[in-house]
Amino acid sequence: MNQACLVTGKSSQLLAEVVHETVARGRQSLIARSGALELSAAAETAVTVTWNRRSALSARSVVLHAQNLYGRLDEAVIVFSPVRESVPFHESSIVSIENRTDAEVKGYLFMIREIVSYFQKQRSGRLVLAVQEAASEVRSPLEAMSLGSFISAAEALQQFYRNEALEIRLCHSHSDDDQGYASFILDALDAPAPRRPRTEWLRYAARGGMFSRGR
């Protein structure tokens, strides 16, 4: 039976490449997008739903939609990359700070909570949290806040649930090789569970796309 996989994150080329990989590897794929997403012709079998990152109810409805569509949810991939900030921090409005916190901190926590809750109830599931960030750049405080929040939450999740039935994998990349990183993420999803779970990141090296483990 094909695995039922939920793929979500900010609409981006990387997200589209991850969708392409899930479909190419025979998964039943549900895509929760937060904006327009252009998919390849090969990925047209994927089902798409809209995800309002600022709404806890939207996150819950996405997971319920996967259950109603496939009868179960086996896997999930969440892709995270911070939005570049074009306004100097001291000129940021209160509204823009609130919006960013809602979309890039609370929104992802809402979605992760619903997925983990579902996997805990069915006593199985595999979740990949994949981060993509540009290398060697000075980040705005708002970018750093959202990125640091996601990374810290991902590490805490893997540590907290290390002895549970669900599996949590962490992937990280500084590369703009979206296709290669997407393949790497699916390799991480397909990899057998480690004998001794521990908090670690699987880091993508663009040259060979090989696994590199480390904190």
Tens digit of each residue's pLDDT (9 = 90 or more) over 59-86: 999 999 999 999 999 999 999 988 887 7
Mean pLDDT, the chain, whole residue set:
89
Tell me how far apart the terminal alpha carbons of the chain are, to the nearest angstrom.
Answer: 35
The CA-based dihedral angle spanning residues 70, 61, 50, 32, taken in that order and rounded to the nearest 10 degrees: -50
Q: What angle do CA 88, 142, 206 make, to 5 degrees?
A: 105
What pLDDT shows up at residue 209? 44
The sign of the CA dihedral 90, 96, 101, 103 is negative
Counting the structural domains of the chain, the total is 1
Instruction: State which residues form the domain around 200.
Output: 4-214
pTM for the full model?
0.91
pLDDT band of residue 106 (cuts 50, 70, 90) is very high
Query: Which CATH number covers residue 179?
Result: 3.40.50.720
Residue 117 identity (one-letter amino acid): S
What pLDDT shows up at residue 9? 93
Among 28-42, 49-63, 79-93, 130-144, name the most confident range.
49-63
